[in-house]
């Protein structure tokens, strides 16, 4: 599955903020990182947790959309 990850630099917070637009039921931004790479790694971890939790609870996963750069989680 491929989900959209939006990473934006926040000068105010001095970090990269991560949004997961398909997951509308979680607080956004959902994670961050001091570097772009850290933010991307953290985004992948959050996605994995959200998917595992949804599957364990027999919840329906949101439909993936294509808004920008996406990351495939296996």
Domain that holds residue 59: 2-72
Is residue 70 very low, low, confident or very high in pLDDT (cuts 50, 70, 90)?
A: low
Q: DSSP letter for 28, please.
A: S
* pLDDT higher than threshold 90 for residue 9: yes
Is 71 strand, coil or helix? Answer: strand
Q: Which two tokens stand for residue 71?
A: 């990351």
Residue-level pLDDT at 73:
60
Task: Please tell me the distance from the alpha carbon of residue 30 to that of residue 56, in angstroms, as a whole number.
Answer: 20
Q: What is the mean pLDDT of residues 31-42?
A: 97
Strand-pair partners of 71: 3
Instruction: Give me the number of domains the chain comprises.
Output: 1
Residue-level pLDDT at 71:
58
The CATH number of the domain where 23 resides is what? 3.30.160
Q: What is the mean pLDDT of residues 40-60?
A: 95
Residue-level pLDDT at 58:
95
Task: Please tell me the distance from the alpha carbon of residue 26 to that of residue 33, in angstroms, as a whole number.
Answer: 18
* pLDDT higher than threshold 70 for residue 34: yes
Q: What is the mean pLDDT of residues 48-71?
A: 84
């Amino acid at each position: 599955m491929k989900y959209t990850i939006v990473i934006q630099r926040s000068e105010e917070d001095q970090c990269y903020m991560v949004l997961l637009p398909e997951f509308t039921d979680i607080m956004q931004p959902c994670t961050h990182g001091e570097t772009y790479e850290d933010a991307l790694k953290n985004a992948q971890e959050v996605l994995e947790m959200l998917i595992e939790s949804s599957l364990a609870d027999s919840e329906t996963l949101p439909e993936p959309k294509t808004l920008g750069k996406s990351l495939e989680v296996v």
